[in-house]
Structure 1
Amino acid sequence: MILHTVLIRFKSTTDKARKKEIFDAAAALKDRLSGIVDIRFGPNVSPEGLGGGFEDALVVTFETAEARDAYLAHPDHVALGERIVAAAEGGLAGLLVFDLEI
């Protein structure tokens, strides 16, 4: 399985309602794309203070690397990615993406 983690540094002008719209759109992908085991999202709740300014995360668990790759190329994911980049501080600089094989 692949754990696809996206850390997001949203612009200060991105309110809770906009974040909810983005995360709800991400959650809806589970019903439309095969190979997704789980989608989780939300704010950083760590008390350590080591988040590097990344206050929110989106985590998608895939059955296989091939399922992840199909997701990355899918038009619905591309559209979602564009929304996230537009809402992130500095665009792509406001994201950190890390995939872990589990």
Structure 2
Amino acid sequence: MVTHIVLIKFSGAVTDAQVDKLIDKTLKLKDEIPGIIEIQQGRNFSNRSQGYDVGMTVKFENKQALENFGPHPKHQEVVAYLKNELGLEDIIVVDF
């Protein structure tokens, strides 16, 4: 199993509805992209967040499933929403 961790920082203010839409779109990926075992995403409430607003974890069957995830059109739709609608400032990704 492979775990994919993502931390997201927005460049400006976003609404709760926009974040809810992001979370909804992200959680649907489990049913749209093969190889995803589990996916979780939520708002960061830690005071140690260094400005990161949202966290996500995805568990994949294997490394190949993770590699297929990145370019998948449904994943790219979420990435486009992050960049174009929410103003993505920074992202940290850890895979293990």
* Category of TM-score, reference length = shorter chain: 0.7 to 0.9
Equivalent residues of 1:37, 1:61 under 8 A apart: yes
Equivalent residues of 1:23, 1:41 under 8 A apart: yes
Equivalences for 1:1-102 in 2 at 5 Å? 1-46=1-46, 49-86=47-84, 87-90=86-89, 94-100=90-96
TM-score, length of structure 1 as denominator length:
0.82
Number of residue pairs matched by the alignment = 95
Give % identity.
28
Q: Secondary structure at the match of 2:10?
A: coil
Equivalent residues of 1:5, 1:57 under 8 A apart: yes
Higher helix share: 1
TM-superposed CA distance for 1:89, in Å, is 4.5
Please give the per-residue CA displacement for 1:12-52, whole angstroms capped at 9, x wherever unaligned. 42111111111111111111111101110112244xx3221
Q: Secondary structure at the match of 2:70?
A: helix
Give RMSD over aligned pairs: 1.5
Higher strand share: 2
Unaligned runs of 5+ in 2: none
Please give the per-residue CA displacement for 1:39-91, whole angstroms capped at 9, x wherever unaligned. 10112244xx322111211211111010011111111111211111231443x
Unaligned runs of 5+ in 1: none
* Distance (Å, rounded) in 1 between the aligned partners of 2:36 and 2:16: 25
Q: After the TM superposition, list the runs of 4 or more consecutive aligned residues in structure 1 that deviate by more than 6 angstroms.
A: none
